[in-house]
Chain A
Amino acid sequence: MKTEASNTYSRRFFIKSSSAFTTLAFIPNSVKSFFYQVKEKFFVKKQKIPLSVSINNKEYRLDVDTRTTLLDLLRENIGLTGTKKGCDHGQCGACTVHIDGERRLSCLTLTAMIPGKEITTIEGLAKDGKLHPMQEAFIENDGFQCGYCTPGQIMSAVACVQEGHTGSTEEIKEFMSGNLCRCAAYNGITRAIQKVAP
């Protein structure tokens, strides 16, 4: 293991310099390469910050790499592998969790953004050893095949019902389209939500 450089730059400095990056696109190449050299020298690649976060009603106090997404925090750091990585780019919905009760993509959420927020993952959905009605409905309606997209589908489905987007089959299908299922268990997913919807 390499020893890590200490964090000597303020957040303000970080914001300023990252906006400097965004202007890079308009700068000629020679200047760009100069800037990259400067970047190599001055930017600390790896910083750890202390964070306390609440996941499934449990408090975690962690030293987190600032580059770590909520998804990787869950999967690689605290052993909650129920949340899945399908793309890491916000394109598939496999990583859907609830942040303060709303469905969010954990691959597009940096861990540094979540202190003070309540995170719920698939592991936190069942209460007191009893499955959530949506979990039951997915089982009964065979709303999956391989099961890899399933945690994301269920987290989205719970939110879909809460949001009131269950007026018709078409509406459910539309509001569940951010969650891809390559096995295409869409019949079962849709029916499971209909069974739970008011």
Chain B
Amino acid sequence: MSDAPKSAPAPSGRAGTKKELPEHFKAYKHVWVAVESEHGLVHPVSFELLGEGRKLADKRGVELGAVVMGSDPQAIADAANACFEYGADIVYTVTDPVLTHYRNEAYTKALTDIVNIYQPEILLLGATTLGRDLAGSVATTLRTGLTADCTELAIDEEGSLAATRPTFGGSLLCTIMTLNFRPQMATVRPRVLSMPKRTPGRQGRIVQHPLGLAEEDVVTKILQFIADRDSNKAQLAYAEIVVAGGLGLRSAENFQLVKDLAAVLGAEYGGSRPLVQKGWITGDRQIGQTGKTIRPKLYIAAGISGAIQHRVGVEGSDLIVAINTDPNAQIFQFAHLGIVADAVELLPALTEAFRKYLSVNRLAG
């Protein structure tokens, strides 16, 4: 790029010189989580982020902040208390009727304003539909870097945020950093991080911030909210047991074997991405990087090879049981229990074994 136009100012963004943090960013301090709450409830991903944020803040020797936005003072006070109990030292609140429901304009203004005033070095958001909508806007407004869908957050030797996410198509991870802008922003999907312990009674400071926006200033209006009916929604992310199938099952009919085992175990069922593309399962049952991240007590994967995009979605499971005909399948690199066998034969046998065991023991008990 040596032949760049001469008129261009010396860029701070040259690959080689990116390490130098401009002077005005050096005041940026503390780790923040933008808390997501809708309909009066805090999304669990915000607590998961506070747990991780606590570790990052301790490593940096700084405070952990949480930003809570909404309209109901009681809900905000409750959310702030929960944030303290999950590790926040300080909670910034923005309370205004304009923030009753999430709208991009109002929330972007609220969050960018307090970032500009209180200057955090790290800002974390959940990679939910709301969090992605908001994070992209805030990062662009602040002209800073944003790493999407991280699977791991760490502080490197120089004190910068090292955000790791899967790369495309290969079984590789990449670590992305924002070295010369602040705040360093990242999103993480629900369930990728574990839920931290709650310390009842733990307290902190509250800083209130005005929104400075009237309803007339917000041109987007919410006309209606149609809540999903829970009954037809897969509850994969928070399921205790998940049974999933992959292309190794060979046909949509054979996928029934996964559902059968799930039914006996009272489990949710899901699958790898190709099954969604083939129409064997619906998109809300896809497990992995571009589907749901799960952390069940038991995960049974049948006929799934264990590609990185799948792996990052299941690694938080307590016990991973993999059934695969190929002893060299990648899934055996991260499964706890492996069975080299034909899933189409083994699944019905497992279903039957559990069914028998549970009925016998129920009678006995």
On whether the two chains bind one another, the answer is no
Residues of A within 8 A of B (CB): none
Residues of B within 8 A of A (CB): none
